[in-house]
Amino acid sequence: MNEENIKKLVEDKNNFLKLAEKIKDKFDGPSSYFYLRTIEKTKKFQEEYKSLLEDNSFFEYLYATLTSWGMHRMDKNTRMTNFENFKESILKNKEKIIKLSKLNLMEVNLDEFKEDILEIFNSLKIMSRKDAPKFVANSKIMHFLLPNLIPPMDKGHITYFFYGRVNDKGKKYIPSIKNEEETFWEVLKKFQEIAQRLKLTKKDLINDWDTSIPKIIDNAIIGFNIR
């Protein structure tokens, strides 16, 4: 774990917010449109989450957002499963997702809900390949479903920030993830630590892309990486 990066990120809240703001225009087109529409639906039905999971158009938004976030390409390695399998995989976790939908990263005792969170992470079948990695695709769909609790995670920014380094040739080195469940949980706990150390609130969510506290931390990490 790169504790030095975390220390630099949280040492000044104003700088943290500036890092998050840097990326407000970095994403546009389908990746922005479908993501913001998805989160809009999630928040609108926050108190009626069961109804949300009965809305087929919501699953279509989820499916489109993941595609626009790079999880489906026209090759054999990065391909999502078909829509019906995708939807069924989420609905198998319906009761757990509804329970977790009331929680937010700042206040929750994560250890109390560890079993449910990890069961969802491990059971979701988003990609078509049986041996496809889960870390990126499953954390992203969990963020879309539970934006106040789970951050989206990727290798280029999140894994690099927490575990990577610059090698002797000045190039980014990102270690491979050996245990996806363990890494997912460790990163989630660190997101909570960052949120609590900075005392983040909804008032800090200034830009459209700052859809939740987990997402503004993700935004700041991306801003940190592209300094």
pLDDT given at position 79: 84
Neighbours of 192 (CB within 10 A): 20
Average pLDDT, the chain: 92
Q: Please tell me whether residue 144 adopts helix, strand or coil conformation.
A: helix
pLDDT band at residue 17 using 50, 70 and 90 as cut-offs: very high
Query: What are the φ/ψ torsions at residue 127 (nearest 5 degrees)?
Result: -95, 155
Q: Which two tokens stand for residue 149?
A: 């609790």
The answer to whether residue 165 scores a pLDDT higher than 90 is no
What 3-state DSSP class applies to 173? Answer: strand
Tell me the C-alpha to C-alpha distance, in Å, between residue 175 and each of 1, 111, 178, 179, 205: 11, 26, 9, 12, 31
Q: Is the pLDDT of residue 75 over 80?
A: no
Single out the residue of 103, 110, 109, 107 nearest to residue 196, CA to CA. Answer: 107
pLDDT of residue 58: 95
d(CA 110, CA 108): 6
pTM for the predicted model, two decimal places: 0.93
Q: Provide mean pLDDT across the span 120-141.
A: 93
CA distances (Å), origin 140, targets 3, 5, 25, 111, 149: 24, 22, 20, 21, 12
Residue 215: what pLDDT? 97
Q: Compute the radius of gyration of the chain from its Cα atoms.
A: 17
pLDDT in tens, 100-130: 999 999 999 999 999 999 999 999 999 988 8
pLDDT tens digit sequence for 24-73: 877 778 888 999 999 999 988 888 899 999 999 999 999 999 999 876 77
Q: What is the reported pLDDT for 76?
A: 66
Tokens coding 168? 């002797």
pLDDT at 10: 97
Task: Provide the pLDDT confidence category of residue 88 given band limits of 50, 70 and 90.
Answer: very high
The reported pLDDT for the residue numbered 171 is: 77
Instruction: Kindly tell me the burial class for residue 48, based on how many C-beta atoms sit within 10 Å of its own C-beta (0-12, 13-18, 19 or more).
Output: exposed
Mean pLDDT of 141-152: 97
Lowest pLDDT segment from 99-103, 125-129, 189-193, 210-214: 125-129
